[in-house]
């Protein structure tokens, strides 16, 4: 089964992708992981991506797509994959479709992980990260028993800049401008299934499986 996870930053795509990946025994693939693996292994695509990043430039859509297509042709993707974080724009989606067509593959589902903006802002702005070990807590949903001190290592808990309300709102603006149009693009292809991300992880897997008919 070949799946794309869409949704606003902080909606819970990664959590749900991981749950579905484990249940279906197919890889959960993020573009960040692909970049890191290719750069670490010194592949030609990795070297090319690194050359753009070293200059502070965005990696071109065509190269990102090449990296993704190379990844989904690996043996562990024989039974499918879950893409998380790609595509982000219509041009990327078109490039992905062209690449999949060229290898005789097509998407099965696009899962839209939906949560209202205010829910996302509250959830992300409540996150606290340990300055020492990186453990993540939430002031409301998963607090440390020691207040502003990490349960695991005793380090100080901080609010990262990208979890501050003003930053989250800016990220949402970028999402609506660049990525949200993908929903209409994939809806025209009859691929979109929406799941409610406000109910927590307890029902997340059953909601996902119901959405894809598994």
CA gap 206, 214 in Å, rounded = 9
3-state DSSP assignment of residue 14: helix
Domain count across the chain: 1
Domain membership flag for residue 192: yes
CA gap 127, 139 in Å, rounded = 6
Q: Is 13 a catalytic residue?
A: yes
**pLDDT (tens digit per residue) in 44-60:** 988 998 898 888 787 88
CA gap 88, 128 in Å, rounded = 27
Q: Is 106 a catalytic residue?
A: no
Count other C-beta atoms under 10 Å from residue 82's C-beta.
Answer: 25
Percentage with pLDDT > 70 across the chain: 100
Region 155-183: what's the mean pLDDT? 92
Q: What is the pLDDT of residue 116?
A: 95
Look up the pTM and report it: 0.82
Nearest to 122 by CA among 98, 103, 138: 138
Instruction: Answer yes or no: is pLDDT of 31 > 80.
Output: yes
Say which of 23, 36, 146, 160 is annotated catalytic: 160
Q: Is 160 a catalytic residue?
A: yes
H helices of the chain, where? 13-24, 31-41, 44-54, 61-72, 90-102, 117-125, 165-174, 181-187, 204-212
**pLDDT (tens digit per residue) in 77-103:** 999 999 998 998 999 999 899 988 988
Region 167-187: what's the mean pLDDT? 93
Q: Is 88 a catalytic residue?
A: yes
Domain membership flag for residue 171: no
Say which of 152, 164, 171, 193 is annotated catalytic: 171
Domain membership flag for residue 200: yes
Q: What is the pLDDT of residue 85?
A: 86
Domain membership flag for residue 168: no
Least confident range from 123-132, 149-158, 193-202: namely 193-202
Say which of 2, 16, 123, 127 is annotated catalytic: 127
Say which of 13, 16, 123, 128 is annotated catalytic: 13
Domain membership flag for residue 167: no
Say which of 88, 97, 164, 193 is annotated catalytic: 88
């Amino acid at each position: 089964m070949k799946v794309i996870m869409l949704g606003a930053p902080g909606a819970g795509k990664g959590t749900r992708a991981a749950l579905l990946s484990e249940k279906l025994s197919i890889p959960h693939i993020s573009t960040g992981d692909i970049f890191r693996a290719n750069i670490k292994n010194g592949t030609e695509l990795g070297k090319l991506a690194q050359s753009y990043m070293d200059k502070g430039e965005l990696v071109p859509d065509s190269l990102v797509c090449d990296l993704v297509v190379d990844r989904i042709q690996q043996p562990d993707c024989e039974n499918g994959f879950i893409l998380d974080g790609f595509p982000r724009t219509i041009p990327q989606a078109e490039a992905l479709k062209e690449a999949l067509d060229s290898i005789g593959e097509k998407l099965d589902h696009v899962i839209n992980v939906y949560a209202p903006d205010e829910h996302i802002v509250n959830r992300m702005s409540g996150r606290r990260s340990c300055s020492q070990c990186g453990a993540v807590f939430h002031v409301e949903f998963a607090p440390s028993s020691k207040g502003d001190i990490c349960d695991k290592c005793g380090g100080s808990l901080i609010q990262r800049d990208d979890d501050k309300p003003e930053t989250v709102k800016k990220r949402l603006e970028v999402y609506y401008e660049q990525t949200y149009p993908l929903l209409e693009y994939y809806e025209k292809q009859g691929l979109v299934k929406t799941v409610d991300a406000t109910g927590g992880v307890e029902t997340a897997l059953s909601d996902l499986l119901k959405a894809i008919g598994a």
